[in-house]
Structure 1
Amino acid sequence: MTITPTNKGMSRYHDSRAMKGRERNAPCWCGSGKKYKKCHLGRDAQPKENPWAAVDVNRKAFSQKKCWARDVGLGDCEGGVIKAHTVSRGPNLAKIAENGHVLQYGASIPDMNKNGGKLSVKRIGIKDASVFHGFCSKHDREIFSCIENEVFTGRPDQCLAVAYRTMSRELYGKDAGSHLRETLRGADKGLQPFEQFMLQKMLDEIDTGNEAARRDLKATHDALTAALVAARTDVLSSLIFEFAAPIPFMFAGAWSPFTDLHGAELQKGYVDELLEQVFVSSFAGESSAMICISWRNIDGAPGKVIADQLEELADETRASACLQFVMKHVENVFFNPDWFGALDEKQKERLDQLAADGIDPMGSVPSMPVRLDVDFRLPRSIRSFHA
């Protein structure tokens, strides 16, 4: 039996043995562009593909080298494309590392299979943490010197630089994931017709979501690039929190928030809606730390709503709220091993839940609420200021 979806998204079944020649020569229902007889005809009897093929393709995609500052008005590239750190290695990761290593939640397919589908926490060297091949040596040095070689003080140029690097990493990831639809098109070999249809439908939905996200991120990336070229730091607004002591985690990320800190809707995510992002990053000091929240300087920016809500919290709970919020949305979160190892079961369970809440492959909005009653033993906030 085979499945042919109707134009309403439902499906009907046909006996492939009774199909006429013109039906076998019609484009396959899965959208591959191949004739049905060259694609899904008899797929249930075909041998299953190597399940790790997509992992290998994905690994190669995330190793592609491209300077995001090439031919955009920031000067010519020089030197090869290097491993750029989204979270600065020396100024930040080194401050929370133990013997040159930090901890990070991992969600790779091999690791999750080993752990019964659960996330694992892995040690990673700070040379390899939070890296992507996104800038040539010249542009990495020139654009990000203000955050790599200077103490972060919340200057507007520093906020713009870290937002640009973070957005470049997010767009790099979406580009790298664009292969997924075609790579997994044959993953339904050996499955029954209805299972084939459901898998192809799921892959289409993932691909649609990824393409929409790429469109949103590119629009913002273009705006940040133009701001860098024109040295216009007013394109962003930022709120910076300073803490009384170092914090045991570092992060950098950006996402399109659909809900605020308390779960209220911020953006609807319509197909024709260009979503706005919020940028978050943390910085280590010698005896203190800072967390920066930035957003595009437009009316009703979702990032401003979130920043204002964080500012309204008690000083003693702000670091915990920031940690929990980014755990749901950001991949690049790294922990001091000693601090993480000293957490009790309730605290670790909370972090596990938050990390798992943000990895739905179907792209659903993380719904886990921020709980201020969970004490992560973090320093209090001593001041906040706008940039």
Structure 2
Amino acid sequence: MKLDPIRPVETMGPYESCWCRSGKKYKWCHFRREQQKPVNIFEIEARMIAELRDGYCSHPDPSADPCSATITKAHTVQKKGGLAAIAEAGHVLTVKPSMKEMIETDGNPRPRKVGVNNASVFPGFCSKHDTMLFKPIEGKTLSLTKDTAFLFSYRAIAYERFAKEAQLRNTDIQREADCGHPFWKQAMIQTHLAAIIDGIKIGMRDMDLWKGQLDERLLSGERQDFHYVAVRFDQVLPVVSCGAFHPEFDLQGRPLQQLGRESVDFDHITLTVTTFESQTIVVFGWIGTDNGPAKALADSFAAVEDTRKADALVRLLFIHTDNLFLRPSWWESLPEASRKALNEMTRSGTTMRSRSGGEMADDATSFLAAGVVEVVSG
């Protein structure tokens, strides 16, 4: 996808398409923008949160298997097992910051409390398909098989695709952030937003591809080119998570693939961390070859010494996903230096911190200790 930066224009014909690419005519968009009433940034955030409640069912073939009428608040990590296992007084910590916290901390927020009913939810399935599809991974027990690993991957991709689409819808709201500001600031805000939109669209392209691949295999039952690596720990770790990402470095710090190249389909991998029977399980899943970057990342995790796997997992999660939830007392018990290091990892891959092999490699820092009782793959 070739990027085409916007070109701010201070004055245009009233019926020309506005330079900001909103799709509106200049007269109804940036004409006399500096005279318009400034928008409260917290109002913008509230509207963006409301947009996330506008859901749909992600099942690939509702015509053959009709949806139920209710779109449910689907948990990406099961509430009764995963979230409940790390919750304290009905709450967990999320690493997703609010706009208020970003402002109050000068862009350095800390994990914040959220109720388990609202943690890790997205309106991405009707109640029928949410129950039917994920029943095998919602019980009290779990067998680590290719079929259950596939369902964890499917839910992760459905969530990531929904989140990307919601981000794209939210950019229409964010366009109003320059109301009441002089032209130079309008140009700065809209240029920054345009770059964000380009990134989201690239992400949407990838998500549509990944979701389509998983949809085909969900409907056909074909699992031959789906691969997974799963690890079961001997106790409940203080973290749960669900997400998908492009692996760039393995857990020894070796490069796996270089992102940012045009017309290249990059390997992706899903990662779910949850709890069954008082034991944390970690499931990596991907579609494709068994010798590409995704496989290399999963293998590098399996190769980490069992006594260091929990630490490697924490590092990987803070670097690669914001759909991550923590036990409050564990976080508070960490030394300040460890909390600072983990907070900085959440900025990895952003303009604030470039991603590197060094941050992935084990530096002997200990965040928690746990043993491993099972490693399976397929």
Q: If the length of structure 2 is used for normalisation, what is the TM-score? A: 0.88
Instruction: After superposing the two structures, state which structure 1 stretch, 101-110 or 64-73, moved more.
Output: 64-73
Partner of 2:366: 375
Contact kept, 8 Å, 2:92 with 2:328, in 1: the verdict is yes
Contact kept, 8 Å, 2:5 with 2:195, in 1: the verdict is no
1:107 aligns to what SS in structure 2?
coil
Instruction: After superposing the two structures, state which structure 1 stretch, 167-176 or 376-385, moved more.
Output: 376-385
Q: Which amino acid aligns with 2:325?
A: F
Distance in 2 separating the partners of 1:58 and 1:264? 36
Are residue 324 (structure 1) and residue 306 (structure 2) matched?
no
Distance in 2 separating the partners of 1:330 and 1:11? 33
Are residue 83 (structure 1) and residue 73 (structure 2) matched?
yes
Give 1:313's match in structure 2, choosing from 304, 324, 340. Answer: 304
1:384 aligns to what SS in structure 2?
strand
Are residue 68 (structure 1) and residue 58 (structure 2) matched?
yes
How far off is 1:56 after superposition?
Answer: 2.4
Give 2:209's match in structure 1, choosing from 219, 234, 241. Answer: 219
How far off is 1:238 after superposition?
Answer: 0.5
Are residue 49 (structure 1) and residue 10 (structure 2) matched?
no
Are residue 293 (structure 1) and residue 284 (structure 2) matched?
yes
How far off is 1:256 after superposition?
Answer: 2.4
Partner of 2:187: 197
Q: Which amino acid aligns with 1:137?
A: S
Question: Counterparts in 2 of 1:10-159, with a 5 A limit?
Answer: 26-36=16-26, 38-69=28-59, 71-72=61-62, 75-149=65-139, 151-159=141-149
Q: Identity of paired residues, percent?
A: 27
Q: Which amino acid aligns with 1:355?
A: T
Distance in 1 separating the partners of 2:5 and 2:219? 46
How far off is 1:145 after superposition?
Answer: 0.7
Contact kept, 8 Å, 1:257 with 1:266, in 2: the verdict is yes
Q: Count matched residues.
A: 372
1:133-161 deviations in whole A, cap 9, x for unaligned? 11112111111011002522211111111
Q: Which amino acid aligns with 1:372?
A: D
Q: Extract unaligned runs of 5+ from structure 1.
A: 1-7, 17-21
- CA change 1:365–1:231 in 2 (3 A) is farther
Distance in 2 separating the partners of 1:363 and 1:180? 22
- CA change 1:155–1:120 in 2 (3 A) is same
- CA change 1:282–1:82 in 2 (3 A) is same
Partner of 1:351: 342
Contact kept, 8 Å, 2:8 with 2:20, in 1: the verdict is no
Contact kept, 8 Å, 1:236 with 1:296, in 2: the verdict is yes
Contact kept, 8 Å, 1:69 with 1:139, in 2: the verdict is yes
2:177 aligns to what SS in structure 1?
coil
Q: Which amino acid aligns with 2:105?
A: N
RCO greater where, 1 or 2, for CA within 8 Å and sep 6 or more?
2
Distance in 2 separating the partners of 1:168 and 1:12? 36
Contact kept, 8 Å, 2:87 with 2:116, in 1: the verdict is yes
How far off is 1:81 after superposition?
Answer: 1.3
1:356 aligns to what SS in structure 2?
coil
Distance in 1 separating the partners of 2:208 and 2:331? 35
1:249-293 deviations in whole A, cap 9, x for unaligned? 111111223444316251423343333321111232435322111
Partner of 1:209: 199
Are residue 170 (structure 1) and residue 163 (structure 2) matched?
no
Q: Which amino acid aligns with 1:166?
A: A
Are residue 250 (structure 1) and residue 250 (structure 2) matched?
no
Q: Which amino acid aligns with 1:191?
A: H
- CA change 1:363–1:231 in 2 (3 A) is farther
- CA change 1:203–1:142 in 2 (3 A) is same
Contact kept, 8 Å, 1:227 with 1:235, in 2: the verdict is no
Distance in 2 separating the partners of 1:248 and 1:26? 55
Distance in 1 separating the partners of 2:58 and 2:249? 30
Distance in 2 separating the partners of 1:23 and 1:81? 44
Give 1:334's match in structure 2, choosing from 291, 308, 325. Answer: 325
Q: Extract unaligned runs of 5+ from structure 2.
A: none
How far off is 1:39 after superposition?
Answer: 3.8
Contact kept, 8 Å, 2:58 with 2:125, in 1: the verdict is yes
How far off is 1:23 after superposition?
Answer: 5.2
Instruction: After superposing the two structures, state which structure 1 stretch, 363-372 or 145-154, moved more.
Output: 363-372
1:234 aligns to what SS in structure 2?
coil
Question: Counterparts in 2 of 1:242-281, with a 5 A limit?
Answer: 242-261=232-251, 262=253, 264-281=255-272
Distance in 2 separating the partners of 1:9 and 1:384? 47
1:152 aligns to what SS in structure 2?
coil
Q: Which amino acid aligns with 2:292?
A: A
Contact kept, 8 Å, 1:67 with 1:135, in 2: the verdict is yes
Distance in 2 separating the partners of 1:30 and 1:253? 32
Q: Which amino acid aligns with 2:110?
A: S
Could you list the runs of 4 or more consecutive aligned residues of structure 1 that deviate by over 6 angstroms after TM superposition? 10-14
Distance in 2 separating the partners of 1:73 and 1:11? 44
